[in-house]
Structure formats: C-alpha cells, structure tokens
Structure 1
Amino acid sequence: MIERTVNVMEAAEMISCSRAHAYRLLEAGEIKGYYTGNRRGLRVLERSVEEFIERRKEEYGVAV
C-alpha cells in the first residue's frame, strides 16, 4: 500500500499552524515524515497528520 504524503507547508495548513511549528512537530515525533533525497525534499505522511489532529481533538475535548 502506498502512503499518501504532503509537503511541510500542506501539513501546516492541515493543522492550522506555521511551517516552523510543523517542523518542530516533526522533530518532536508528533507527526512523521522522511526525506526523499530529491527536489521534493521532506515529505510528511498524511495519515500521521490526521492522527495528530484526532489526538489533539481527544486531548482537548473538541467535538468532531
């Protein structure tokens, strides 16, 4: 199965945060990504962003 990926800016838009904060979330292991080694650079797993959003909703009691 092929994992869908997004770039860091798209991940930041999904989370509604800055690009810099998205990089901090990657460094902290809150969301997962990898370097491709070509011009596309860092790719973020879309599923990890969605899981992060769900964890935050549960943590803060936000209705879905």
Structure 2
Amino acid sequence: MIERTINVIKAAEMISCSRAHAYRLLEAGEIEGYYTGNRRGLRVIEKSVVEFIARRKEEAGVGI
C-alpha cells in the first residue's frame, strides 16, 4: 500500500506550528518523512502527522 505524503508546509499547518518546528519534529523522530530527490524535496508521511496530533491530544487529556 502506498502511503499518502505531504510537504513540510502542509504538515506544519496540520500541527499548527512553524515550518522550522516541523523540521525539528522530523529530526526528533516525532513525525516521519523522507527525501525524494532535488525537485520534490522532503515528503512527510501524513499518517505520522495524524498520529502525532492524536498522541498530543491524549497527553493533554483532550478527547478526540
């Protein structure tokens, strides 16, 4: 199965953070992504962003 990917800007919008913070989350392994070459650059796995948001809501005690 092919996983849906998004760019870093879209990931940052979904998380409601800056693009720089999204890169830090990638470096820390909080969300998953990979490089696809020069033209498309870094792609973020959308499912990892959704799971990250769910984890943060759970940690904060907010119902999903």
TM-score of the aligned structures, taking structure 1 as reference length: 0.97
Q: What is the root-mean-square deviation in Å for CA atoms of aligned residues?
A: 0.6
Partner of 1:14: 14
* 1:41 matches 2:41: yes
2:50 is paired with a residue of what secondary structure? helix
CA deviation vs aligned residue, 1:18-53 (integer Å, no higher than 9, x gap): 000000000000000000013110000000000000
> Which amino acid in 1 is paired with 2:24?
R
2:3 is paired with a residue of what secondary structure? coil
- Separation in 2, partners of 1:43, 1:8: 7
The residue correspondences of 1:24-39 to structure 2 (distance < 5 A) are 24-39=24-39
1:62 is paired with a residue of what secondary structure? coil
Runs of 4+ with deviation above 6 angstroms: none
Give the gaps of 5 or more residues in structure 2: none
Identity %: 83
